Structure 1
């Protein structure tokens, strides 16, 4: 099992991935979590979609080099898009939470300060300050922000032939997750007939208050589709 974290996050994913990875391990799977370039303990780099796809493909090649032939993917948020873009016939199945399956137009001024938006305009990137254990700054390339809007759903999903479980929340307090859910509902027509969409009632994009349900849904899916 190879797990891909979300935008500007790290291999712990605010504790989500630790809980999920432990559950997958108890179910009999080997699990690899890793930091995308420029995140967590990885080397400094500007975040771009293309680089993250390359990172996940490298992680998949690494587990294959260790003799694993049955490989599943788990992606959260932006990590779900990276999983979909990294798909090859070697992938047995995937689980995607808070999935990004179609173009999303964000008002970045709501997420970043005026100083950061000025930096983006003048330098072509945004520097994010962090207080985490591993990293104090994350640098996001302007292309990464554009890539959220440049997703073509049919092209993205039709090439994925393995069974996919997409999990969303439907909290009315989380507009982003509701928009992502709407896009995934529209995209199910392009996935295999064995794919499913599950909605956790009241969950937000973080799923932090619904991790037990997320863990159970994901683990049962892998047990059924990785055997």
Structure 2
């Protein structure tokens, strides 16, 4: 199957834009993108998908509600978890028997929190496994924060097919919630965690350290790898990420 643009139904009936690729009818890799990203992840997911397809898997990339070309909705972890489960419902209905997740950043965190028993294994890059506290004034425009404070929601301008991302206080609070032991100990599937160690990205170093402390709660098969020289985006290291991801899934979710 060549790459085909399709529409799925996510949480609460929101239309989700997606791309399905590959010919394997039994094994599929489902991608989960980052906070305000989309199914392409600036081309990184496109390249990773091509590598998984070359390795014998089918793939599915989709935009969470409120992102990319999907329908509008506030961006929260709860909605993303519901979206992911709805996507897995569709994947199961298609007849796939072996399902893996490849999540980046917030998509990795959501993959862990979804705890879906249909998932055989996960490959996660830059996933936050513990609360992170941000000074949002350094990350979001003042008018967006003012909208959240006074009206309960703010519109952050976006690019590509969408005009804005709809943020609420919950969108921001989600980064600072969740007990690592509770979240990670509930994941009974093998998880491959990858983080960069670029010295110019102290946040990535911090979340990698948090993940290292949380490894004791994951399944005994799970592993943490360092991608030397990479920052949070993994840009410039996509082939290395793909090599590790494919090797991991060949063991834990074979094509």
TM-score of the aligned structures, taking structure 2 as reference length? 0.86
Alignment of 1:65-104 (within 5 A): 65-104=93-132
Structure 1 residue 88 displacement after superposition: 2.4
Q: 1:194 corresponds to which residue?
A: 221
Work out whether residues 73 and 83 of structure 1, in 8 Å CA contact, stay in contact via their aligned partners in 2.
yes
SS in 2 for 1:167: strand
Q: Distance in 1 between matches of 2:78 and 2:180?
A: 17
Q: What are the superposed Cα offsets for residues 180-205 of structure 1, whole Å, 9 maximum, x if unpaired?
A: 10110011000111100000111100
Q: 1:64 aligns with which of 92, 96, 104?
A: 92
Q: 2:150 corresponds to which residue?
A: 122
Q: 1:49 aligns with which of 60, 64, 77?
A: 77
Alignment of 1:194-213 (within 5 A): 194-213=221-240
Which residues of structure 2 form unaligned runs of 5+? Answer: 1-28
1:18 pairs with 2:50: no
Structure 1 residue 215 displacement after superposition: 1.4
Q: 1:38 corresponds to which residue?
A: 66
Which residues of structure 1 form unaligned runs of 5+? Answer: none
Work out whether residues 126 and 142 of structure 1, in 8 Å CA contact, stay in contact via their aligned partners in 2.
no
Structure 1 residue 113 displacement after superposition: 1.9
Which protein is richer in strand relative to its size?
2
1:216 pairs with 2:243: yes
Moved segments of 4+, more than 6 Å: none
Work out whether residues 169 and 201 of structure 1, in 8 Å CA contact, stay in contact via their aligned partners in 2.
yes
TM-score of the aligned structures, taking structure 1 as reference length? 0.97
C-alpha root-mean-square deviation of aligned residues, in Å? 0.9
Aligned length: 226
Structure 1 residue 131 displacement after superposition: 2.5
